Amino acid sequence: MRVTWHRLLIPICVLGFQACKQIEAPAPARISLDSTLAIPESELHVPVYFPVQEQEDLINEKLKDKIIQAHLAINKKEDSLHISVSRFRPVTLAYDGDHGITYKLPVQIDGFLDSKVLGITIQNKVAMRARVIITLFSELYLDNKWNLAPKTELKKIEWVENPKLNVVGINFNLKPPIEKALENNKQKIVDKLDESAKDIIKIRSSIEKLWRDIQKPIRVNRKIVPVWLKVDATDIDGKLFARSKDTLMIMARLNARTYSVLDSAAAVTKPAPLPRLRREVDEDPSLQVYAHATLPFKMLNEIISQVTDTMKFQFPGHTVRIHSSEIYGTPEGIAIRINLRGDLNANVYLRGTIGFDTLTKQLRIENFTFDLNSEQSLLNAADWFAHDVIIDRIKPYMIIPLENVFDVIPVLINKGIEKGKLGQKINIHFETFDLNVYQHLVTTDNIQIIASVKGRAKVELQKALFDKKKKTAK
């Protein structure tokens, strides 16, 4: 019996087709949207502390030199007194925990008397010395440029050592003229103290540092794709609040727009000038933050290809591997194209939607199912192919954790004030932390997410702030 080659070719082709079947399911339509979500404004309430003990040390350092010098006429005989006023022991501060500071300023008055005797000017060789304690009270205010604007008044003068002077047998009672001199020069003393307070309690420089540094990108993710969180501050306001008798507190309210970036260098911008102070701030140490994150499909595909390109599936009598994959957006959500090779050569498609797990704080591409066209094609071509196996293997890689984005919010706040001399020992953490996806959008090029978090901040001063060795004023 003669068998022609063309008759043998038919069963050989059938066997080959059955051994390595090829299907091409129609692809779900790609989305053609090109848009950007508008980022709602975030609001952070940031406390800034100024320990009173540090202010006391710094004021003593500032007032170590002479406070005032004066030339006084003490009677109608052209007798005059040259005096200089300086402190003889450290200034002490008592803060009332609200807006008032009481200063006790121990001053020493040294003077030389010029006296006319028979037309001859006589001067004491040894300086006259007197000591008094001047009590002053300051009401603390902030001006609209964030500078401390204290309003100080002299409350009383206590004599510790009366002035004694005898010149060529003549005793001079210098207490009345010195009291008068202090009264006449009290504004100089007050101005000197207020000037020292402004120079030392540098509130503006601390707030400016917070304003600048909090806008620097901070790294959120160090794995696979580096991601930074960037804050663009739009406004800042503040107000003095009662705290405790050892700490002066300003509650700063920061308004900002927060978003993620994949290139920190490109996100570095020069901050706008520090806004003027309006004092419209509540004391509640809370926050409401919205962060905009963009997940480009190009980046997602680079990541997922590292995983899927090594996936191999064993079925009874069959082997299939994923040759390539692609994630893209559809009008209904997300599609994943999977190119299979082996005993089944096929382009098949998964569909999914974007969801958020409030317990694990994760964004998920979920509700995975094969596209209807792919499902029908697979059933017709390979009834041995287990669809759920591929879904189960891919699903763990369709999770994007979001808690890291908001874990760095306290870091951002601390970073903004960490090097400020008067605010460097602050710990901030959140007692409540409610994280959710506020809005999401799938476009041609990316998935955009606006995540929101509401919380209450708890602020602690580190023990080292008060335990550290302090400079002793002399």
Q: pLDDT per residue over 65-106, tens digit each?
A: 666 676 656 555 566 667 788 888 998 888 887 788 898 989
User: pLDDT value at position 441?
Assistant: 93
Judging by beta carbons within 10 Å of its beta carbon (0-12, 13-18, 19+), is residue 318 exposed, middle or buried?
Answer: middle
User: pLDDT value at position 429?
Assistant: 57
User: pLDDT value at position 327?
Assistant: 93
239, 251 contact by CB (below 8 A): yes
Judging by beta carbons within 10 Å of its beta carbon (0-12, 13-18, 19+), is residue 177 exposed, middle or buried?
Answer: buried
**Residue among 445, 440, 435, 360 at smallest CA distance from 396:** 360
In the chain, which stretches have pLDDT less than 70?
1-22, 65-68, 70-81, 114-126, 166-170, 172, 196, 198-200, 221-225, 264-268, 283-285, 403-433, 457-474
User: pLDDT value at position 191?
Assistant: 80
Sorted by sequence, the CB contacts under 8 Å of residue 323 that are 6+ apart come out as 309, 339, 340, 341
Cα→Cα distances 461→107, 120, 247, 405, 411, Å: 34, 65, 10, 25, 15
